[in-house]
């Protein structure tokens, strides 16, 4: 007989299961990667394409430029990337040395940059990366002036999209001898990454900090300021005021190596809305294209890249997707996923150090599963695919340079996306909350 | 060799000091009229002696390597931040975050140091002849913070393996920081540091503080400490 079951809307089975878990364990869940909840995103936008008033460019024939210059506001040596897709900061510690090397290889093969992370610069990533961005984080793990001078740009990290306002915790199980030595801490203990910088607070101090970094590096290196998507309009304004060459904005879908689930899912705003706010700030200050904007947080396809550029970004940054190109969540070593209580496609166990595919681990046996040369090739292929998709969409909208894509090329499929991205709902001229004068 | 910061731009002075011509014998420099400018003598990397006559702003001697820098005045936030080696002597007082994240070398503050002195220090020796402000040695990882005067509240909060020595009073200790036995080994360590720096002081008058190591692994039983 069919049971007459009606699930509670307020307490569906997934919520009840979590309450039972919390009651048994007395502690929140910690996990890796980004938000799993559905939020308005680039899938909620479409390109209009060419028409009577827009002339398309010939695919496979007419050129469509993808290069971008980053950091020419104050730096003597800005970076010229061949593609507007960069690799986001991910720490050595969270990732293994092979993964860091593979990221460098793949990015360099496509003429783009990769980024260090909490834990400092490894020799593998420096030697494999044509352009390496060196992060200055609150913990200052591994920070030293020699590496600062070796970097191609410096990124002052204020926050990240997965946890704006939160620090980090690299759990002891991932702290082997090398990671511990780079961070000047004992092996095997949990390593807290601070949520605030130790020697500056607020935009006025940041301006002086940036001056110090420029003085140490002869005003050569572009200075990026990375913020999580908390208050993007104001944070972008303040970063510009503080003297940033480049603003990096990370939306709530951005990933992490280990953070409380409640933080990942409930703090920060979606990339789509954050990007709009940040571009508004740049335009109001007449700094759009003078201070470059890199957007990250859930970028997966060439369509995502194209839509981000159309909304006003100069480039995008990818983290989780780059890891996936290295085989994160691939259907390999199934038995090891099962030991973690998960399956390929669902894994977020970066925090455990038991990554089945050898990306987010320091375990020497697991790490061997990622060959850095092969990984680099996969990342190159992935970046190449994104670039081809980006060019295809740009040509379809009549653009000979991907940065000529514009909001007028877009329409929204949902009211929410129309409001957030400030483009009209498809088939209408309606942008919720925006009045035309 | 003298640089007058009233007449020469800081960029030119820093650039000169950061790129010492090793064929040249000039090793002693004096900077006058600093007038509180920020980032003076940052990123130096040679064994040179620099004397600064006056007060400096933020990050004086930041990320220093090998240089000996003496400031005849007070210093702003983050003096000798992330220093790797060398010696920095402050004849006056220091603002907050003195010696922050320092990896090596010696920072001597002859006056007082404000809050968060030695925050996240990673191997530096910091000697404060006066007193230190609240939250000093917060999350300190390695090295020695030696205070000849008093320490304000929450000393050594969330400390890792750094050692704190205080001669005067400690208002309160931070999370996971405890008083530890001052044994023969610690007395010898302090004696060695004092001897190298020509400081005449009795290590036995100091108390030692360090990590209880209870927060090294996240445990729900420690919830009240977080």
> Tell me: the pLDDT tens digits for B103-129?
999 999 999 999 999 999 999 999 999
Q: Kindly state whether residue A306 falls inside one of the protein's structural domains.
A: yes
What confidence tens digit (pLDDT) does each residue in A365-381 have? 999 999 999 999 999 99
Interface predicted TM-score (ipTM) over 0.90: yes
Same domain for B116 and B219?
Answer: yes
Same domain for B132 and B199?
Answer: yes
Q: CA angle at residue B221 from A190 to A266, to 5 degrees?
A: 65
Same domain for B221 and B111?
Answer: yes
Same domain for B107 and B206?
Answer: yes
Whole-number pLDDT of residue B77: 98
Going by the DSSP 8-state scheme, the letter that residue A403 receives in this structure is: G
Structural domain of B59:
1-92
From the DSSP assignment, how many helices (H) and strands (E) are in chain A? 15, 16
State whether A198 and B100 contact (CB < 8 Å): yes
From the DSSP assignment, how many helices (H) and strands (E) are in chain B? 2, 11
Q: Kindly state whether residue A427 falls inside one of the protein's structural domains.
A: no
Is the pLDDT assigned to residue A384 strictly greater than 80? yes
Whole-number pLDDT of residue B224: 64
State whether B218 and A148 contact (CB < 8 Å): no
Residues of chain A in contact with residue B10, where contact means CB-CB under 8 angstroms, are 215
Which range, A22-36, A176-190, A248-262, B79-93, is most confident?
B79-93
State whether A169 and B218 contact (CB < 8 Å): yes
In the listed set B92, B126, B152, which residue is the last one of a domain according to the structure? B92
Query: CB-based contact (8 Å) between A217 and chain B?
Result: yes
pLDDT band at B160, cuts 50/70/90?
A: very high
Q: Which of residues 76-95 of B touch A (CB under 8 A)?
A: 77-78, 81-82, 84
The residue of chain B nearest to residue A217, with distances taken between CA atoms, is: B43
Q: Which of B122, B159, B162, B217 to mutate to test the interface with A (most CBs of A within 10 A)?
A: B122
Same domain for B17 and B74?
Answer: yes
Same domain for B80 and B121?
Answer: no
Q: Kindly state whether residue A60 falls inside one of the protein's structural domains.
A: yes
**Pairwise pLDDT comparison (A170 vs A416), residue with the higher score:** A416
A280: left (phi over 0), alpha (psi -120 to 50) or beta: alpha
Is the pLDDT assigned to residue A174 strictly greater than 80? no
Q: Kindly state whether residue A250 falls inside one of the protein's structural domains.
A: yes
What confidence tens digit (pLDDT) does each residue in B22-76 have? 788 789 999 999 999 999 999 999 999 999 999 999 999 999 999 999 999 999 9
Number of domains in chain A: 1
Same domain for B65 and B122?
Answer: no
Q: Which of residues 100-159 of A touch B (CB under 8 A)?
A: 139-140, 143-145, 148
Whole-number pLDDT of residue A61: 85
Whole-number pLDDT of residue B62: 98
Same domain for B113 and B178?
Answer: yes
Same domain for B175 and B65?
Answer: no
Residues of chain A in contact with residue B224, where contact means CB-CB under 8 angstroms, are none
Q: Which of residues 164-183 of A touch B (CB under 8 A)?
A: 169, 171-172, 183
State whether B119 and A185 contact (CB < 8 Å): no
State whether A218 and B18 contact (CB < 8 Å): yes
Q: Kindly state whether residue A430 falls inside one of the protein's structural domains.
A: no
Specify burial of residue B189 (Cβ count, 10 A radius: 0-12, 13-18, 19+).
middle
Is the pLDDT assigned to residue A437 strictly greater than 60? no
Structural domain of A373:
26-421
Q: Kindly state whether residue A15 falls inside one of the protein's structural domains.
A: no
Whole-number pLDDT of residue B93: 98
The pLDDT of A280-302, averaged and rounded, is 98
CB pairs under 8 A between A and B: 100
Antiparallel, parallel or unpaired: β A259-260 and A246-250: unpaired
Same domain for B175 and B63?
Answer: no
Whole-number pLDDT of residue B102: 98
pLDDT band at A145, cuts 50/70/90?
A: very high
- Two tokens, residue B136: 């000093």
In the listed set B42, B69, B92, which residue is the last one of a domain according to the structure? B92
Whole-number pLDDT of residue A54: 86
Is B29:B50 a contact under the CB 8 Å cutoff? yes
Whole-number pLDDT of residue A304: 98
Query: CB-based contact (8 Å) between A352 and chain B?
Result: no
Same domain for B82 and B126?
Answer: no
Q: Kindly state whether residue B98 falls inside one of the protein's structural domains.
A: no
The residue of chain B nearest to residue A194, with distances taken between CA atoms, is: B139
Residue B35 Cα distances to A200, A206, B5, B32, B43, angstroms: 21, 20, 8, 9, 20
To the nearest whole Å, the CA of A213 is away from the closest chain B CA by 9
Same domain for B63 and B122?
Answer: no
CATH at residue A56: 3.20.20.70
3-class DSSP state of B31 = strand
Antiparallel, parallel or unpaired: β B87-90 and B106-109: parallel
Whole-number pLDDT of residue A171: 75
Q: Kindly state whether residue B1 falls inside one of the protein's structural domains.
A: yes
3-class DSSP state of A161 = coil
Q: Kindly state whether residue A57 falls inside one of the protein's structural domains.
A: yes
């Amino acid at each position: 007989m069919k049971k007459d079951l009606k699930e509670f809307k307020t307490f569906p089975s997934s919520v009840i299961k979590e309450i039972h878990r919390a009651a048994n364990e007395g502690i929140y869940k910690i996990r890796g990667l980004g938000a799993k909840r559905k939020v308005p995103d680039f899938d909620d936008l479409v390109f209009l394409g060419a028409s009577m008033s827009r002339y398309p460019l010939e695919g496979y024939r007419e050129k469509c430029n993808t290069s971008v210059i980053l950091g020419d506001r104050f730096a003597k040596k800005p970076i010229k990337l061949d593609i507007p897709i960069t690799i986001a900061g991910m720490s050595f510690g969270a990732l293994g040395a092979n993964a860091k090397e593979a990221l460098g290889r793949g990015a360099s093969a496509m003429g783009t940059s990769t980024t260090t992370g909490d834990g400092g610069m490894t020799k593998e990533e420096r030697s494999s990366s044509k352009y390496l961005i060196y992060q200055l984080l609150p913990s200052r793990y591994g920070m030293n002036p020699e590496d600062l001078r070796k970097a191609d740009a410096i990124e002052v990290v204020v926050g990240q999209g997965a946890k704006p306002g939160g620090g980090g915790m690299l759990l002891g199980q991932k702290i082997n001898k090398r990671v511990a030595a780079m961070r000047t801490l004992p092996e095997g203990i949990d390593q807290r990454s601070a949520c605030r910088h130790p020697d500056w607070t607020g935009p006025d101090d940041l301006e002086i900090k940036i001056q110090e970094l420029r003085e140490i590096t002869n005003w050569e290196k572009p200075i990026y300021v990375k913020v999580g998507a908390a208050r993007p309009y104001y944070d972008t304004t303040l970063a510009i005021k503080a003297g940033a060459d480049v603003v990096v904005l990370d939306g709530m879908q951005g990933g992490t190596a280990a953070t409380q689930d409640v933080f990942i899912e409930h703090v920060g705003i979606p990339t789509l809305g954050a990007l709009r706010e940040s571009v508004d700030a740049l335009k109001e200050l007449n700094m759009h294209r003078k201070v470059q904007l890199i957007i990250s947080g859930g970028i997966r396809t060439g369509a995502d890249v194209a839509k981000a550029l159309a909304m006003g970004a100069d480039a995008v940054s990818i983290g989780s997707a780059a890891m996936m190109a290295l085989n994160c969540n691939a259907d390999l070593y199934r038995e090891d996923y099962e030991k973690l209580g998960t399956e390929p496609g669902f894994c977020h166990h970066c925090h455990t150090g038991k990554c089945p595919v050898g990306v987010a681990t320091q375990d020497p046996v697991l790490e061997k599963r990622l060959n850095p040369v092969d990984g680099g090739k996969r990342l190159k292929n992935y970046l190449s695919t994104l670039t081809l998709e980006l060019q295809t969409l740009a040509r379809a909208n009549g653009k000979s340079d991907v940065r000529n894509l514009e909001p007028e090329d877009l329409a929204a499929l949902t009211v929410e996306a129309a409001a957030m991205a400030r483009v009209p709902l498809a088939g209408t001229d309606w942008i919720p909350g925006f009045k035309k004068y | 060799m003298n640089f007058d910061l009233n007449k020469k731009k800081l960029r030119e002075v820093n650039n000169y000091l950061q790129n010492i011509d090793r064929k040249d014998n000039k090793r002693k420099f004096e900077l006058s009229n600093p007038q509180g400018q920020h980032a003076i003598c940052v990123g130096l990397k040679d064994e040179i002696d620099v004397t600064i006559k006056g007060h400096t702003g933020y990050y004086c001697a930041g990320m220093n390597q090998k240089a000996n820098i003496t400031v005849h005045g007070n210093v702003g936030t983050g003096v000798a931040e992330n220093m790797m080696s060398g010696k920095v002597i402050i004849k006056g007082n220091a603002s907050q975050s003195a010696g922050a994240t320092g990896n090596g070398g010696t920072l001597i503050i002859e006056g007082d140091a404000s809050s968060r002195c030695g925050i996240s220090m990673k191997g530096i020796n910091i000697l404060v002849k006066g007193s230190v402000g609240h939250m000093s040695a917060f999350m300190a990882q390695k090295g020695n913070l030696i205070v000849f005067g008093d320490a304000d509240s929450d000393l050594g909060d969330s400390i890792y393996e750094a050692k704190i020595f205080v001669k005067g009073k400690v208002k309160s200790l931070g999370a996971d920081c405890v008083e530890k036995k001052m044994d023969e080994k610690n007395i010898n360590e302090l004696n060695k540091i004092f001897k190298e720096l020509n400081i005449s002081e009795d290590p036995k008058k100091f108390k030692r503080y360090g990590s209880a190591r209870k927060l090294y692994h996240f445990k729900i039983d420690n919830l009240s400490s977080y």
